[in-house]
Amino acid sequence: MDCMTRKENNQDFLNLSGSLKIVGIVTGVWALSFVLIASLVYYADHPDFSIFRTYLSDIGDTSGWPQIIFNSGTLISAPLRYLILVLVVLRLFNLGMSRGIVVFILFIGFLSSCGTVFMTAVPFHIAPSIHKTGIALYFFGTVFLQIMIFLVEWSIKQIPRILSVVSIITALLFIVFAILLVLSLKGIVSRDTPVFWEWMCFVSSITWVFAHSIVLGKPGPYKNKNS
């Protein structure tokens, strides 16, 4: 009976890690694809396109195909990202994260995902308050999530340190972008100053998805050389 239980638990573990790897890679490729396609379509009519001058939100606010591709891709990505978060958190739970932190992180992640939907589905010119609420939920939710996950990953010695490093770098990039954006709105820095950092937030988010999906997507516990 004990042998059968261990076999069933191991099978569940393999399904979880395998699902994380597949969903993570598919979501990462999807996000890269729709942003690249939307950027190319945007570039066709805006040859001055640059990651130092063009916000991702500029693409989403451009009427026509750039807006359709970017916003549709973002809306589809929101539930996929939340699914990845669920799988990552369950994986961390198997490696020692407490049940209370699991619930708390998933709640914050849900709010952040809702923020993505709000700011994408409701343009600023239609409902400024809802759009701004979505931005706040998404950015603050992401920063809080990444810091929480960093602390959890750093505390579990079996997890490779690279994952906690990726998590904290993602949080820091979002913080830098948020600060520069506020300074830009106040006229302290130019409008273009935060642009590059928004793109870096996107790159770090995709890196986080791929890193966690590939590393935590491997079946079996991890062994840290220092443990």
Question: Structure pTM?
Answer: 0.86
Higher pLDDT, 11 or 90: 90
Per-residue pLDDT of 112-150, as tens digits, reads 999 888 888 777 667 778 878 888 889 899 999 999 999
Which stretch of DSSP H or E encloses residue 54?
Answer: none
Residue 15 has pLDDT above 50, yes or no: yes
How far is it, in rounded angstroms, from Cα 15 to Cα 18? 5
Position 2 confidence tier, pLDDT thresholds 50, 70, 90: very low
Average pLDDT over residues 8-36: 81
Residue 7 has pLDDT above 50, yes or no: no
Residue 8 is predicted with a pLDDT of: 39
Residue 9 is predicted with a pLDDT of: 46
Position 60 confidence tier, pLDDT thresholds 50, 70, 90: confident
Both tokens of residue 11?
């099978």
Closest C-alpha to 120, from 169, 71, 158: 71
Residue 18 is predicted with a pLDDT of: 87
Q: Return the amino acid letter for 48.
A: D
CA angle 85, 87, 88 (to 5 degrees): 65
Average pLDDT over residues 84-108: 92
Distance of CA 66 to the CA centre of its chain: 21
Position 62 confidence tier, pLDDT thresholds 50, 70, 90: confident
Q: List helix spans (H) across the chain.
A: 2-45, 56-60, 65-94, 99-121, 128-155, 161-185, 195-215
